[in-house]
A and B are shown apart, each in its own frame.
Chain A
């Protein structure tokens, strides 16, 4: 197991001063779980936090652009967007579109035009479809790799970022990813800094009108609060405390599957390809 390196940035004092790094964090309107009110979304807040840390490490906070595609005219939404700005952003760029429209087109057009190096998003939104598809659809549109559920970006050297990906039970996987890429930020990433009222209320809502299509599919749906699913009880037949602890902390043993470490990259790719064919993902 790798050590948790969520504090690695502070320890090493990540220094990117030589880099001309353009970072974009995408934000959405969150929804508070008990009150249902609009708020700063937890994961998107982390995407902004990580973006801010990277931009601060380059020595120029302007290297981070925070973008929201949606309708910033509505009061509650405006307040939520401002609560991101309260983290110390001078401005939030809003790709202004109707609330019912699909955000993918305006976003991918904008991102294609401005060509940042890193795009950070949450894993999935707290309201609406909450499908978690935005990073993938953007990745497809831009032709960029997508790194899901990252916990931190440890370093960036020679156009390659060293990333810690969050795995269940506090485990991390170290990845090396060439820029540019899209990453979704997991709850395991450092929590977003406090939002302060003064900077929030003074931040610029930099609106750009954008063309977008009405999301016909989604508008046909009606939204209901999610029901809690019953939890499957896990019966642990352990005799000793140590065994119980082991059962509680063990990795789920996936049936089947195999670990391919020794084989060549081509063989590994072939194995994945075969599996995807077998599962009917690729046709």
Chain B
């Protein structure tokens, strides 16, 4: 056959250039900060992580998961065999047939990719991504024909020189997309970086169904606090950004994006890539940050990102709801990146917007965000006769009251919960004025110094007493206590269980400690608070509680792990970045479609946000309040 040297040469060149590109890419990641990773264990675990964790997420979209399995699986198999057959020249008929089969598989997958791209949803990026299905078809199609003689279907040299040349053009096209594109920044980069990201993920606990949601502490004696330049990220965070496939799943669920605030998690990750590799965002072919044009942003590994690459408003729009992280098939950690950059803005630049500075000052001076006298923390319970830990020293359950103590609406929830605790004869006590703000808001606003100070002082207080459990009605405090305090607590939390009040109440109800009448109102829906659901995986207890009242929950389309944020997390109501709509209004629209008359909630912040929506709208009640209304009160309650 004429030019039979051509194709092996093409393959060899492509492989070589791909390796060169890979080295360059790896060096981009290595510019990041050191982070210790178990390389061997990670690499061994990688295929499993791909097949289970990643695929479980892709599986939510059946069409795409089948398409991806066929295309990706077909490609990996084909590439291995192409090297054997067409580069090393092993002329084995069985191998030839096997290669034909895997190329056919890839081709079929590519046809479906092509179909999806005929009328792509807005969340998908266009540009080079529109070229990808054609490259996939070219690659699999051309190699298929080229392999026919090996399998003995066609005689050697069939088709003549012309066909060979045409085939070679397709092969060159396919190879450059599939191999060069993989390491030189084309769409296929996601496969290369994605595989390594799975292996060297910064939160390996997430694999195998685990959960890792606590933010990582800042070492407060560092040269720069937080992330100023791309190189201030950990190296495996940089690697993670490179893994993005621009599928826009994150964009589709982001409440800030939907509200028209200048945030799009997909664009944010792409901007991180621009920063890491240097250049401008002109190549970006997806949805922009609402209200901002693409093409204005410039960055480089040594440039301050918030000056030219990313508008601080983008970072402050995030509610830290983690919806993006939950949906991302590449398991990218958007919230970590956003808070890392906020840390720089707050702790180095002192530029927390709007009420941010005031709230942080108050937290420093009074241990609560609104500057109330620290000695007035127990005023809400003046009539409750609550035992104080400083008196009793020992108890079963510590009721963590949280800053809801200072807010009249939240106090109704606290009272309801106390009534339930008393009705169930629980041995509990509160910290009273010794309790401080959990540090949640300070941490989400990027002030890790204040968070750490609050956390350490709270831990020192808790250490003085003997108890088994901490129960709180505030999912934000719950998250801090359960997932973030351990970094400073020296093992204290190994023996203490932290529970959300819905979990605990459910336990009491299931154990028969609380007698409840059945609920007599109309339709009820349940809003999953982000910090209870996605951050802590508690979706069931609140629902079981409602069911135990005989309520049939009218679920919203976005519920459970897909719940839409109320807009109240991450300090968003404090930084208050303007958009076109309010997130709480959109959530209320979700509620309205169920026809519910009552929204059951498990968070005082969600309660405040949803009650902030103008009437007429359904009522909003915490589950504790709903339970109290149905409580069968014991007739004689004689206890000493």
Residues of A within 8 A of B (CB): 32, 34-35, 37, 39, 83, 86-88, 193-199, 201
Contacts and interface: CB of A to CB of B under 8 A. Distances in A.
Contacts of A195: 350, 357, 361
A198 B225 contact: yes
Interface string B355-366: 011001100111
For the complex of A and B, list the 10 residue pairs with the smallest distance between their C-beta atoms, beginning with the closest. Answer: A196-B350, A194-B350, A194-B357, A34-B373, A197-B449, A32-B365, A198-B348, A35-B366, A197-B347, A198-B225
Interface string B364-375: 111100011110
B447 interface: yes
Given A34-B373, A35-B373, A201-B220, A196 B366 contact: no
Contact of B224 (A32, A86, A194, A198): A198
Contacts of A87: 350
Majority-rule SS of A interface residues: loop
B368 to A, nearest CB: 9
Contacts of B447: 197
A34 B372 contact: yes
A193 B365 contact: no
B346 interface: yes
- Specify which of A35, A197, A201 lies most central, judged by the most chain B CB atoms within 10 Å of its CB: A197
A193 B357 CA distance: 9
A28 B141 CA distance: 78
Contacts of A32: 365-366, 371
Contacts of B356: 194
Given A194-B352, A198-B348, A39 B365 contact: yes
B351 interface: yes
13 contacts: A34-B376, A35-B366, A37-B366, A39-B365, A83-B364, A194-B350, A194-B356, A197-B220, A197-B225, A197-B449, A198-B224, A199-B350, A201-B220
A242 B33 CA distance: 66
A108 to B, nearest CB: 31
B640 interface: no
- Specify which of B225, B364, B373 lies most central, judged by the most chain A CB atoms within 10 Å of its CB: B364
- Specify which of A32, A37, A195 lies most central, judged by the most chain B CB atoms within 10 Å of its CB: A32
B350 A34 contact: no
Contacts of B357: 194-195
A88 B376 CA distance: 34
Contacts of B367: 35
Contacts of A197: 220, 225, 346-347, 447, 449-450
A83 B365 CA distance: 11
Nearest to B353: A194
B520 interface: no
Nearest to A201: B220
Nearest to B222: A198
A196 B346 contact: yes
B38 to A, nearest CB: 32
Contacts of A39: 361, 364-365
A83 to B, nearest CB: 8
A37 B350 contact: no
Given A86-B350, A197-B347, A199-B348, 10 more contacts: A32-B371, A35-B366, A35-B373, A39-B361, A39-B365, A83-B364, A194-B346, A194-B352, A197-B450, A201-B449
A34 B347 contact: no
B365 A35 contact: yes
Contact of B349 (A34, A37, A83, A196): A196
Interface string B434-447: 00000000000001
Contacts of A199: 348, 350
A90 to B, nearest CB: 14
Contact of A34 (B220, B225, B348, B371): B371
Contacts of A34: 366, 371-374, 376
Contacts of A194: 346, 350-352, 356-357, 360
B376 to A, nearest CB: 8
B355 to A, nearest CB: 11
A37 B457 CA distance: 16
- Specify which of B351, B356, B365, B373 lies most central, judged by the most chain A CB atoms within 10 Å of its CB: B365
A131 B374 CA distance: 27
Contacts of B347: 196-198
A177 B350 CA distance: 33
B320 to A, nearest CB: 20
A28 B350 CA distance: 21
B350 A193 contact: yes
Contacts of B348: 196, 198-199
Contacts of B366: 32, 34-35, 37
A195 B366 CA distance: 16
Nearest to B448: A197
Contacts of A83: 364
A152 B200 CA distance: 56
A197 B343 CA distance: 10
A56 to B, nearest CB: 15
A198 B371 CA distance: 23
A169 B320 CA distance: 42
A87 B374 CA distance: 26
A86 B347 CA distance: 9
A32 B348 CA distance: 24
A201 B222 CA distance: 11
Nearest to B225: A198
A35 B357 CA distance: 18
A204 to B, nearest CB: 16
Contacts of B352: 194
Nearest to B349: A196
- Specify which of B347, B367, B372 lies most central, judged by the most chain A CB atoms within 10 Å of its CB: B347
Interface in B213-231: 220, 224-225
A180 B308 CA distance: 41
Contacts of B376: 34
A281 B586 CA distance: 68
Nearest to B348: A198
Contacts of B373: 34-35
Contacts of B365: 32, 35, 37, 39
A194 B447 CA distance: 12
Contacts of A35: 365-367, 373-374
A194 B346 CA distance: 9
A249 to B, nearest CB: 28
Interface in B430-485: 447, 449-450
Interface in B195-239: 220, 224-225
A194 B355 CA distance: 11
Nearest to A86: B350
Contacts of A86: 350
- Specify which of B346, B348, B350, B360 lies most central, judged by the most chain A CB atoms within 10 Å of its CB: B350
- Specify which of A34, A37, A39, A88 lies most central, judged by the most chain B CB atoms within 10 Å of its CB: A34
Nearest to A196: B350
A144 B373 CA distance: 41
A202 B184 CA distance: 41
